Structure 1
Amino acid sequence: MNDSTEHPLHETLLHDALHAHVRESGGNAAGPYLVGLADGALQVARRRQRLARVGVGIAAAAVVATAWVAVADGATQHAHVVQPAAGGTGNTEKAALISILPVTSSTEHACTHGSGGYTVHASATHPAFCIRADRARGMTDVRVTSAKAEKSTIDGTWQVEVTLSSADRTRFAALTGSIAAAPSPRNGFAIVIDGKLWGNPYVTSSITGGRLEIVGAFVGDLTSATAHDLALRLDAGR
């Protein structure tokens, strides 16, 4: 029996072993990630098998590494799936940088080309918006100390929790303190990554803890895949 008709035995064994480990561990916080990793590996193997049956050649298999990131108190671990750069064996890409910019205006239409604003595209639940922000007063090209994808314990939506360095924490506290008393929308800040708006939260007081949550332009915009991908991009190269 050749590879095109044989069951993906190796991936199936890995899948079953990971599921068994999750059951034996009593359902700790890493469980959903292990299960997702196992299910994803098996789906890739089966897809590769189906492609082989119809004669589609696969030039090279993608290598997927699993990076474990421990929470500060050591109590919980999260599994991240890392796609190595071409020709490499690990995540060697440069980390994405964040800009935190005070909002100057928010209007209900898409930004005009070349205006320098950030467009939030319309969806079934909200119209298009144009967010403009002040780069001169903001924090630009900030490299975070850590980023992790997680589900909100309040509403179950996905988010990325970002931690700033001690120096940037001080700057962030000053920035949020300076806009907290301004009328809406100038009491908000834009979270910009790679030229794209990833969040537009509002503040009522200075944020001194050095942490912020990225939820997308609107709460619920992020999926598990986009949240984990963004966390990896922000954490790349560590």
Structure 2
Amino acid sequence: MNDSAEHPLHETLLHDALHAHVRESGGHAAGAHLVGLADDALRVARRRQRLARAGVGVAAVAVAATAWVAVAHGATPGAHVVGPATGGGSGNTGKAAPVSILPVISSTEHACTHGSGGYTQHGSATQPAFCVHADRSRGMTGVRVASAKAEKSTVDGTWQVEVTLSPADRTRFAALTGSIAAAPVPRNEFAIVIDGRLWGTPYVASAVTGGRFEIVGANVGDLTGATAQDLALRLDPGK
């Protein structure tokens, strides 16, 4: 197993173990500090793997292929672009935005063409755009999260939104992530879709049992403080 897969697995196990310990011990300050360190280590490990994956994706077509997203009622599928909210105002309507968590089938190194049914993950100065396809029939759709909070990493200063699922969805999420963990890249990833847009494709190395995941955008640094706060409010208007 290479470093990009091995390290995140260790960090994920540590992350879940520390969170469970702090919950059982009443969430004392020292434990909360350790949890924060584990959270940051897990984010860094995942980002390192995404960057490594991008380099491999350029060289190997097997890392970036295409597939399909199911569309109800025979509607013509379109291409969806990763796009954090922009402009002034939070767009908070008082109603929580549902989240879809969909297993990635494949992706190709180019923006999606119209009618492909894929989600375009925009490129950056160092990473090309990808067209991501996911399996809606096997995923979790219409999920209302238990909580969402915007936070700034103490390691690299980037913004993310930490999402916590309800107990019932936590069980489903553990089953979904467990079912894809052993698959080759990119089928060990899940697509986070909100308001019809792709907000990231985290990968997993083992079942995620803690019921939490982070949204950081398609590329590191995509989210600003404003867009992270906006997204957290859209997912959890009661904050």
* Counterpart in the other structure of 1:161: 162
**Aligned CA distance change for structure 1 residues 224 and 184 (closer, same or farther; 3 Å):** same
Report the AA paired with residue 175 of structure 1: L
**CA–CA separation in structure 2 for the residues paired with 1:143 and 1:128:** 29
* Counterpart in the other structure of 1:207: 208
**CA–CA separation in structure 1 for the residues paired with 2:197 and 2:143:** 15
How many angstroms does 1:93 deviate by?
2.4
Q: Is the 2:98–2:194 contact (alpha carbons within 8 Å) kept by the matching residues of 1?
A: yes
Q: TM-score, normalised by structure 2?
A: 0.61
* Counterpart in the other structure of 2:125: 124
Matched length: 157
* Counterpart in the other structure of 2:177: 176
Q: Secondary structure at the match of 2:112?
A: coil
Q: TM-score, normalised by structure 1?
A: 0.61
* Counterpart in the other structure of 1:228: 229
**Aligned CA distance change for structure 1 residues 101 and 84 (closer, same or farther; 3 Å):** closer
How many angstroms does 1:155 deviate by?
1.6
**CA–CA separation in structure 1 for the residues paired with 2:90 and 2:200:** 27
Query: Any unmatched runs of 5+ in structure 1?
Result: 1-71, 77-82, 86-90
Report the AA paired with residue 171 of structure 2: T
Q: Is the 1:158–1:220 contact (alpha carbons within 8 Å) kept by the matching residues of 2?
A: yes
RMSD: 2.3
How many angstroms does 1:237 deviate by?
4.8
Report the AA paired with residue 178 of structure 2: G
Q: Which has the higher contact order (CA 8 A, sep 6+)?
A: 2
Percent identity over paired residues = 78
Structure 1 residues 20-52: Cα deviation after superposition (integer angstroms, max 9, x where no partner):
xxxxxxxxxxxxxxxxxxxxxxxxxxxxxxxxx
Structure 1 residues 75-119: Cα deviation after superposition (integer angstroms, max 9, x where no partner):
79xxxxxx698xxxxx65211111100000011001111111100
Q: Is the 1:92–1:237 contact (alpha carbons within 8 Å) kept by the matching residues of 2?
A: no
**CA–CA separation in structure 2 for the residues paired with 1:120 and 1:226:** 17
**CA–CA separation in structure 2 for the residues paired with 1:74 and 1:236:** 28
* Counterpart in the other structure of 1:147: 148
- Structure 1 or 2, whichever has the larger Rg, is 1
Q: Secondary structure at the match of 2:199?
A: strand
**Aligned CA distance change for structure 1 residues 93 and 180 (closer, same or farther; 3 Å):** same
* Counterpart in the other structure of 1:114: 115
Query: Any unmatched runs of 5+ in structure 2?
Result: 1-25, 33-88
